[in-house]
Chains A and B, each alone.
Chain A
Amino acid sequence: MLRLKLHWQILIAIILAAIVGHLVGEESGFLGVAFYDVFDFVGTLFINALKMLIVPLIASSIIVGVAGIGTSGDLGRLGGKTLLFYAITTLSAILVGLVLVNTVQPGLVNGEPAQELLALSADAGVVAAKVGEKGAGDVVEIFLRMVPPNIIEAAANGEMLGLIFFSILFGFFMTRLGHETADPLFRFWDAVFHVMMRMTEWVMLFAPIGVFGLVARTVAKTGFDAAAPLIVFALTVLAALFFHAVVTLPTLLRIVGRVSPLALYRAVAPALLTAFSTASSSATLPITMDCVEKKAGVSNRISSFVLPLGATVNMNGTALYECVAAMFIAQAYGLTLSFGVQFSIVVIALVTSVGVAGIPSASLVAIAIILSAVGLPVEAIGVLFVFDRILDMARTSINILGDACCAVIVARLEGEEGVLAGEPMEETVRS
């Protein structure tokens, strides 16, 4: 019964939900129970379950992630360079997304917030107050928020920035302990992370039902009008991803790596196509390594360090998408997010991409994290689901491309010769 892949199940659920929601409308019911309430209940239950996982997931994944990077300290310079480039590419991706979403404003339809159209039920005023409270008016506030006076309270209030910062520190100083104390601690958190991953997988089994509830609720309330802003949103994301792939990354390759971007595209094309069709960085990893080593000519020493790390840490496309999505929801509520709030979105997207990567359906969980960190209602996830799969395919390809670029650039900085010179040319000649 359930042998269909999850994303197909979700797709079917969305289609069914659209049909059912359209037929049922907001009023009708059965035995005195309004269908709308049932959809609402199912959707809320699913969203709650996702939210429930956030705090332990964030804490454990970041602690384990940071401690994992920290312990490979013997790679020193190489590790530093890699991380630096990952941070740069991710940051530039996020910025591209932010600029574009602020220009296109997919959350506004005819100059009006699309809240009604998307059936986002939370009261805009309440949301605005919450965002104001969490999102911080100015940048100083954000730094204050990063160091919360009480870490348990921060966790209880869902102040992700503080929790993330604390987890990074904890993970870092865990590696600075003697082995005797650090090892059990690392294994403990690693195990917590594994348990949380299993729980996430379990929750995701219910994704088709949850998505059905969320989408059916939206359609029952507004009909198909919701589709218009969503299409604009999807196009915005695609445009931003495209810009990142054909402008930002090539520029970096040219300037820092001094290699031909076109040669790189040609070399990693198989990996990109695999990433696009599987929507999974880790499943693509073997192919990426093959392409980067054999076709781009990067040494195994570098590719075997940079690429696996990138598959877990570097998520250009995902970070970009998260930002655009959060901004889209905020726009739909008619909120003008201050520079401070947007900055905190950037920081959270950047930092969570370090930890959250290995999680199944990472993007969904990550968006839940960002939305609740900024104070936006997580219920909005439902509408984002509609185009999630297609965008996920595009995102993953960009992630892989970002990884490959970093591998090439780091290799060049390490003084490797013959990267993207010669070999790929020969291949084209041969073919």
Chain B
Amino acid sequence: MRVRWRRRPAALGPRPQMKLLRLKLHTQIFLALVLAVVAGLLTDPDTRLLGVSLFAAYDFIGSMFLNALRMLIVPIITSSIITGIAGIGSSEALGRLGGKTFAYYMMTSFLAIVVGILAVNMIQPGIVDGEPAREILGLSAEHAADVAEKVGNHDASSLTNVFLSMIPPNIVAAAADGQLLGLIFFSLLYGFYMTRIGDEYAQIQYKFWCGVYEIVMRLTELVMKFAPIGVFALVAKVVAGIGQEDLGSLVQSLGLFFITVVLSLSFHAFVTLPLLLATLGRVNPLRHYKAMVTALLTAFSTASSSATLPLTIECVRDNAGVSNRVSSFVLPLGATINMDGTALYECVAAIFIAQAFGLELTFVTQFTILLIALLTSIGVAGIPAASLVAITIILSAIGLPLEAVGVILAVDRVLDMFRTSVNVFSDSCGAVIIARSEGETGILTETGDAPRV
């Protein structure tokens, strides 16, 4: 039984850092945000320092940061999906269990995304007082027209076109044009058939793509080191552009966005997943919450699925009473491919930005968003600052500009904590449901709870 995906690094080990930068990345980003608001309020589009327009400087730095992120998209998508799928495909020895796990993870992610899309369409956080919030997000109107056209190009006018764009006539052209749906589909196929060729060939391919994946991960880390500077520039540009008076509406709009995400995450965690537990697993959901509470709190405070993994396994095994066989397979896999909360968040964020641009996203575009979020979640999970990269991917897949990413980052850290908890909770539900379907007894019964008492 070779489980090759284990060799794919879930997270990179600690490396020496400069003393100055010892603040955690999210703290740095937070400081950058505060500084950016201050700097933005002090400058306006015409302020100059030594003859250089500060606004242009913000713009330059922000674009540079976004370009760096964009530059990584194609290799990230390709290598992460190929290695991810090859990993799942080769652990075929686990057969039925693997299939069930995969089906469950796909289903919950799908449900989470649907909840998110419904919520964001009802609440419409991107629309303030009946007007698109583009002004206050620092997005100009003529820019919006360009964007609308671009989305129109990317967007399929009909559902059949979505499927046609999944199978691009030229894969290199698809990569060059950023037609990510086609690239994702090709990578899925490639990864799958990589496991279906002779072992000798498969090994060298797998090692190669793992190497690419690791290199791209390191590159992403490097780019993320500049995130504070990039975020500073992006946010300062927005704040400088809109001036003091609109800052209130900006906060209001972001607040609404925040609430939308939290609401739909809670719906997923407190309605969808318990329903699944009760119907598919026939266990008492309340007991499961009780069993998982330590892991959930850790996930919330660390915002890292992989850091929480040992605790998750412990809770599921000792408190919920799931067998080691199931939990040691389902949970590590979940930590890398199952990201209900993240997928939900990505979709809400993409639609929020579209709303802010005043774009009416058709059903088909929203379907495309769903598809991409679902498919990328297989591969992108292990990447540092996954959410930021994933949003970049989704936005560029449907043709939305990336500038708005900076604004969203303002609330990203807190949402990340919620998202991660939901991810971990969904993983643990998966373990319970699959254990039940494998015919295990004694899960979440009184005796199962006993060790905690």
Q: Across the interface, which residues of A come within 8 angstroms of B169, CB to CB? A: 47-48, 51-52, 378
Closest CB in chain A relative to B177 CB, distance in Å: 8
Q: Pick the interface stretch among B26-34, B41-49, B197-205.
A: B197-205
A-facing residues in B200-214 (Cβ within 8 Å): 200-202, 204-205, 208
Give the docked Cα–Cα distance between A198 and B190 (Å).
9
Find residues 121-177 in chain B having any chain A CB closer than 8 Å to their own CB.
Answer: 160, 163-164, 167-173, 175-176
Given known contacts A45-B164, A184-B204, A195 and B197 CB-to-CB distance under 8 angstroms? yes
> Which of A44, A157, A190, A199 is B173 in contact with, Cβ under 8 Å?
A157
Q: Least Cβ distance of B170 to chain A in Å?
A: 5
**Pairwise interchain contact A45-B201, C-beta atoms closer than 8 A:** no
Closest CB in chain B relative to A184 CB, distance in Å: 7
Q: Is B193 an interface residue (CB 8 A)?
A: yes
| Smallest CB separation, A46 vs chain B (Å) | 9
A155 beta carbon closer than 8 Å to chain B: yes
Interface residue? A11 (CB, 8 A): no
Answer yes or no: B189 CB below 8 A from chain A CBs: yes
Query: Are A187 and B201 neighbours in the complex by a CB distance under 8 Å?
Result: yes
The verdict on A364 contacting chain B, using a C-beta distance below 8 Å, is no
A373-401 Cβ-contact flags toward B at 8 Å (1 or 0):
00000100000000000000000000000
Of the candidates A49, A158, A190, A191, the one having the most CB atoms from chain B within 10 angstroms of its own CB is A191
Knowing A195-B197, A198-B196, A198-B197, say if A156 contacts B172 (CB, 8 Å): yes
Residue numbers in B under 8 Å from A152 (CB-CB): 172, 176
How many chain B residues sit at the interface, stated as a range, is 20 to 34
Collect the chain A residues with CB atoms within 8 Å of residue B444's CB.
none
A194 sits at the interface (CB 8 A): yes
Given the complex, which residues of B lie within 8 Å of A47, measured CB to CB? Answer: 169
Question: Is B60 interfacial (CB-CB < 8 Å)?
Answer: no
Q: Which residue of B lies closest to A192 (CB)?
A: B205
Who on chain B is nearest to A40 by CB? B160
Any chain A CB within 8 A of the CB of B400?
A: no
**A155-B172, A199-B189 as given contacts; A187 in contact with B204, CB under 8 Å:** yes
Q: How far is the CA of A190 from the CA of B198 in the complex (A)?
A: 11
The main secondary structure of chain A at its interface with chain B is helix
* A41 interfacial by beta-carbon distance below 8 Å: yes
Taking the closest CB of chain A, its distance from the CB of B185, in whole angstroms, is 9
Assembled-state Cα–Cα distance A192/B171 (Å): 14
Q: Which residue of A lies closest to B167 (CB)?
A: A48
Which of these, B163, B170, B171, B205, contacts A191 with CB under 8 Å?
Answer: B205
CB atoms of B193 and A52 under 8 A apart:
no
Interchain nearest-CB distance for A155 vs B (Å): 4
Nearest A-chain residue to B186, judged by Cβ? A52
- The reply on A88 being an interface residue by CB < 8 A is no
Q: Is B194 an interface residue (CB 8 A)?
A: yes
Is A30 on the interface with B (CB-CB < 8 A)? no
User: What are 28 pairs between A and B in contact, CB < 8 Å?
Assistant: A41-B164, A45-B164, A48-B169, A49-B167, A51-B169, A52-B170, A54-B170, A55-B170, A156-B173, A156-B175, A156-B176, A157-B170, A157-B173, A158-B170, A158-B173, A187-B200, A188-B208, A190-B201, A191-B194, A191-B201, A192-B205, A194-B201, A195-B190, A195-B193, A198-B197, A199-B190, A199-B193, A202-B193
A interface list, Cβ under 8 A from B:
37, 41, 44-45, 47-49, 51-52, 54-56, 152-153, 155-158, 184, 187-188, 190-192, 194-195, 198-199, 202, 378
